[in-house]
Structures are given as C-alpha cells and as structure tokens.
C-alpha cells in the first residue's frame, strides 16, 4: 500500500479543518482534544443563489460542482466557464456557458432520510426506470477486505477528530478518491464534482461509504452510474428496494471479515475465505463518531 494510490484524500493536518479545544474527561481531569470545524459555504450558479451548506470546505470547488451535478442543475456536456471561491465571505460561484432550467426544479423537492440538504428532485426519481448499470462489473471479496484496510488506516479527519463521514470511490482494490465531511452528502458531492471535472466514469467503480445505505445513497450512486455500493453501516428497506430495481450490488454491515449483501449478489466473487480476512483491530474501529 502506498499513499500514491489515492488520487485525492483528506489532509488531517490542514489547520483549517480541526480546532483544539479544552474540556474534561470522565474523572474531571482537564484534556485538550481536536474537533472538526464546519463552515458555511453559500453556492451560486451564475447569478442565482442556490443553497448554503455547512462543510469542512477542504475542496469547495469539487463540492460546488458535485452538488450541482447531483441535483441535475449541471448536466453532462454543460460547460463550466469559471469557479470563484471567495474564502473570506464563504461564497462560491460556479459559472456556466448556457442557461439552466433549475428554477422550476427548486419547486419540487422531496426531503430524504439521509443527511442534510438531502433534497432529491422529482425528475431524478422519474429517470430511475431508464438506468442500466453495467452487469459485468464485479467485486472480489479480497478487494473489499483490502479496500477497507487501506481506507481505515489512511490518516483522516475521522482518526484525528471524529464526527465525520467518509466516502471513497474505488477501482478494484484501489481507493482513488477519499473525501470526508460533516455531512455525508457533502463528501459524496465532492467525489461527484471530482469525477465530473476529471471525466471519471463510474461504471467500473466501487463506492464505499461509512454511512447508511438509504434510498438517498442509492440514488446518488445511480447518478454516478456506480454499480457497486458498500458500507460499514446498515440498510433501510427503501434503499434495498431501489438497489434491486436498478440491479445495483448493495453490500452493508461490512466490519472486519463480515458483511451482508442484500441486492446484486451476482457481482460478488468469493475469492477470499472470510476466515482469511483480518479481524478489525480495535483501534481501527470507527467509533460511530459520524453517526
């Protein structure tokens, strides 16, 4: 394993991302600990204010573009002519060449059960019937175990300060894009933005998340055209239903050598006896800080 495997990953040593604060422990003894810093970021698409997000703001450009892509406010082929991040006023402006039709869409929102700003527009749901995820994509169990080990040992804000979600776009046993944020949707949007701006396809990828496999999560993966979604967390019924509808492989409750697959089992190649996989050392267990 080499750090170079990751095309992009969190930088837990960035002083903007965490803050040292004083407090006390269970015996009343003074302690100093790190906490994650969330900041507002107001997103404009051209001259239209879209939303204010709370984020760690480590990759505002990717997050802004990914948000617009995931909301279908920017579509494949749309040309981005500029992105201006104004750090001092917590504002980012994405400029496009053509007109967009997002204003109508702002009228029909559905709030989803995942994390904040989990708004999915009606037409995302409507287009679900047309989705065909590649059937020949596979995931070997040995890849899954390797990925989880690489992700869990990689220095991260999670290990530094906790209370954060992580998402990783992977190819075979290689983690490519590792993004963290206070809101899971922000981490996803950052990955979607990076994919859009660097022409990365989802069809041969595996999406790993620390978060639950809800309907929103499945919808986001469909939008990225990623056929395999894996998580250390659990499932909701609607998440499972949607994954089955679009023939997505849905792997959850992945901890150490254990996991459960509730949709698309045919993409799994069981090449590693579970008994061969390493147990999860206690220090690497995600302590649920991002719950």
Residues 241-280 that bind a copy of itself (CB under 8 A): 253, 255, 257-263, 265, 268, 270, 273-274, 277
Q: Min. distance of Cβ 55 from a copy of itself in angstroms?
A: 7
Chain mean position to CA 54: 15
Q: Is 27 in the site for a copy of itself (CB under 8 A)?
A: yes
Please state, in angstroms and rounded to a whole number, the distance separating the CA atoms of residues 47 and 25. 48
Site for a copy of itself in 120-149 (CB under 8 A): 141
Q: Residues 221, 226, 229, CA angle at the centre, nearest 5°?
A: 65
**Tokens matching residue 147:** 């990925």
Q: Is 291 in the site for a copy of itself (CB under 8 A)?
A: yes
Closest to 191 in 3D by CA, of 76, 81, 67 = 67
Q: Is 25 in the site for a copy of itself (CB under 8 A)?
A: yes
Q: Min. distance of Cβ 78 from a copy of itself in angstroms?
A: 23
Measured between alpha carbons, how far apart are the two ends of the chain, in Å?
Answer: 28
Give the interface segment with a copy of itself, choosing from 72-80, 147-155, 208-216, 222-230 (CB under 8 A). 208-216
**Tokens matching residue 8:** 């992009």
Eight-state DSSP code of residue 213: B
Which of 94, 182, 221, 246 touches a copy of itself (CB under 8 A)? 182
Give the interface segment with a copy of itself, choosing from 7-15, 187-195, 206-214, 218-226 (CB under 8 A). 206-214
Indicate the residue among 119 and 191 with the shorter CB distance to a copy of itself.
119
Q: Is 198 in the site for a copy of itself (CB under 8 A)?
A: no
Q: Min. distance of Cβ 163 from a copy of itself in angstroms?
A: 3
Q: Min. distance of Cβ 21 from a copy of itself in angstroms?
A: 6
Please state, in angstroms and rounded to a whole number, the distance separating the CA atoms of residues 81 and 142. 42
**216 in Cβ contact with 233 (< 8 Å):** no
Q: Min. distance of Cβ 41 from a copy of itself in angstroms?
A: 10
**Tokens matching residue 153:** 């040992």
Please state, in angstroms and rounded to a whole number, the distance separating the CA atoms of residues 139 and 124. 27
Q: Strand, coil or helix: what is 289?
A: coil
Site for a copy of itself in 73-92 (CB under 8 A): none
């Amino acid at each position: 394993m080499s750090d170079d495997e990751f095309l992009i990953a969190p930088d837990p040593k960035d002083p903007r991302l965490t803050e040292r604060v004083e407090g006390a422990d269970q015996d009343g003894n003074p302690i100093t600990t790190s906490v994650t810093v969330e900041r507002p970021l107001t997103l404009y698409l051209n001259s239209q204010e879209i939303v204010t997000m709370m984020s760690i703001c480590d990759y505002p450009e990717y997050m802004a573009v990914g948000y617009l892509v995931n909301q279908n406010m920017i579509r494949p082929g749309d040309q981005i002519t500029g992105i201006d991040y104004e750090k001092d006023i917590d504002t980012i402006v994405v400029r496009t060449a053509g007109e967009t039709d997002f204003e109508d869409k702002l009228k029909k929102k559905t709030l989803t059960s995942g994390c904040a700003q989990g708004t999915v527009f009606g037409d995302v749901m409507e287009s679900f019937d047309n989705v065909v995820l590649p059937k020949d994509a596979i995931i070997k169990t040995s890849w899954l175990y390797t990925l989880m080990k690489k992700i869990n040992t990689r220095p991260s804000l999670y290990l530094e300060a906790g209370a954060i979600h992580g998402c990783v776009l992977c190819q075979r046993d290689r983690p490519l894009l590792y993004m963290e944020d206070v809101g899971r949707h922000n981490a996803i949007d950052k990955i979607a933005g990076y994919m859009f701006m660097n022409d990365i396809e989802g069809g041969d990828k595996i999406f790993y998340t620390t978060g639950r496999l809800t309907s929103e999560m499945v919808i986001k993966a469909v939008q990225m055209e990623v056929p395999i979604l894996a998580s250390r967390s659990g499932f909701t019924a609607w998440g499972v239903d949607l994954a089955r509808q679009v023939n997505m492989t849905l792997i959850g409750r992945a901890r150490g050598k254990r996991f459960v697959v509730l949709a698309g089992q045919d993409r799994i190649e069981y090449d590693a006896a579970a008994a061969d996989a390493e147990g999860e050392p206690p220090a690497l267990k995600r302590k649920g800080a991002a719950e």
